[in-house]
Amino acid sequence: MKVVITGGGGFLGNQLARKLVERGSLCGISGQAETIDELVLFDQMIAPQARKGLEESASFVEGDIADRELIFSLVDRDDLSLFHLASVVSGEGEQNFDLAMQVNLKGGRNVFEACRVPNSQPRVVFASSVAVFGGRAMPSVVGDTTKPAPQTTYGVSKFMCELMINDYTRKGFFDGRAARLPTIFIRPGKPNAAASSFASGVFREPLNGVPCDLPVLREQQMPLLGYRNAVECFIRLHEADPAQLSDDRAYNLPSTTYSLHEMIAALERVAAKHGITLGPINDAPDPMIQKIVATWPTTTDSSRGLALGLPNDVSPDQVVEDYIADFLKQ
């Protein structure tokens, strides 16, 4: 089978690609494990570091997701699965509405239209977000049946794509599933334009011995999921039997709510265990970031996802341990 990952140059898309190479197979249209004989990573730009170690196992395509002809060229087999992770992130979307609509909405529709494969129903997994929820009437705990009321352009574009996933699936065009991501941590590298970037930075920068400027209050709570389990959730949601899925194909991924105080405490526990001297964490309030984050849910109900076998983290300490093993000890 062929697997295409849009956003393959990004952190999660790249980690997903490496996991699929390690597995070598995926449950596809047949309902059985199928050998992955072609893996394509697509993104606007795929850096050398993202290609490293995948040169023999994958091909790389760079371009604009709004380029309909290019996206259609990626879907050239009946036995295909596609993971759609490419996206303008939250903070960038608030600053550039037109770009967010061009990439997230037009690009998403290009991907979904390309997957309308005659005589086949490819499985399509879309990376959505808990940012689809929001508003003054948002309950303290949001579940899959909570009415979405996004308060950011990013959240709006994600919800619109969720609706398309449901309708394209209802029409029999493909077999779609949407994974509503909480904040994923710990991402390596440099901060990006996501409003939630600090949730990785508060671990990453101190572990690397450099200062971290914290743009939100330490009392701020948010639902978190470690990057290893996020990748596993994508795969398990893809492999779920269609008979197990409901008409609403959007699933909150499992998460646990932590405050910044609790996140920093976990960091300090693990750092002490490994004898790591941490860089300082400085309070540097950013009203725009605080405003965006305040619109997001702090606790999610992921019971539907858990019933499908989607995994959650044991503790934030374990995610810090994973990050040290995967990215600091290289």
At residue 17, does pLDDT exceed 70? yes
**pLDDT tens, position by position, 94-103:** 899 999 999 9
What local confidence, expressed as pLDDT, does residue 190 receive? 85
Tokens 């600091």 locate to 328
User: Is the residue at 147 inside a domain?
Assistant: yes
User: Is the residue at 9 inside a domain?
Assistant: yes
Segment 166-192 mean pLDDT: 95
What local confidence, expressed as pLDDT, does residue 238 receive? 98
**For the whole model, what pTM was predicted?**
0.96
Q: What angle in degrees, to the nearest 10, is found between the helix axes of 153-170 and 107-114?
A: 20
User: Is the residue at 216 inside a domain?
Assistant: no
User: Is the residue at 156 inside a domain?
Assistant: yes
Q: Model confidence at 119, in pLDDT bands (50, 70, 90)?
A: confident
Is 281 exposed, middle or buried, given 0-12, 13-18 or 19+ CB atoms closer than 10 A? Answer: buried
User: Is the residue at 209 inside a domain?
Assistant: no
**pLDDT tens, position by position, 248-264:** 999 999 999 999 999 99
**To 10 degrees, the CA torsion angle through 47, 125, 93, 144?**
-140
Q: Model confidence at 330, in pLDDT bands (50, 70, 90)?
A: low
Query: Could you give the number of structural domains in the chain?
Result: 1
Please state the three-class secondary structure of the chain as a single string.
Answer: CEEEEECCCCHHHHHHHHHHHHHCEEECCCCCEEECCEEEEEECCCCHHHHCCCCCCCEEEECCCCCHHHHHHHCCCCCEEEEECCCCCHHHHHHCHHHHHHHHHHHHHHHHHHCCCCCCCCEEEEEEEHHHCCCCCCCCCECCCCCCCCCCHHHHHHHHHHHHHHHHHHCCCCEEEEEEECEEECCCCCCCCCHHHHHHHHHHHHHCCCCEEECCCCCCEEEEEEHHHHHHHHHHHHHCCHHHCCCCCEEECCCEEEEHHHHHHHHHHHHHHHCCCCCCEEECCCHHHHHHHHCCCCCECCHHHHHCCCCCCCCHHHHHHHHHHHHHCC
Catalytic residue among 154, 227, 251, 258: 154
Q: What are phi and psi of 230, to 5 degrees?
A: -60, -45
Query: For the chain, how far is it from start to end, CA to CA, in angstroms?
Result: 32
User: Is the residue at 202 inside a domain?
Assistant: no
Q: Tell me the residue range of the domain where 81 lies.
A: 2-184+225-255+300-313
User: Is the residue at 325 inside a domain?
Assistant: no
Q: Model confidence at 115, in pLDDT bands (50, 70, 90)?
A: very high
State yes or no: is 227 an active-site residue.
Answer: no
User: Is the residue at 275 inside a domain?
Assistant: no
**β-strand 183-185 against 212-214: which pairing, if any?**
unpaired
Q: Tell me the average pLDDT of the chain.
A: 95
- CATH at 49: 3.40.50.720
At residue 280, does pLDDT exceed 60? yes
Q: Model confidence at 153, in pLDDT bands (50, 70, 90)?
A: very high
At residue 166, does pLDDT exceed 80? yes
At residue 191, does pLDDT exceed 90? no
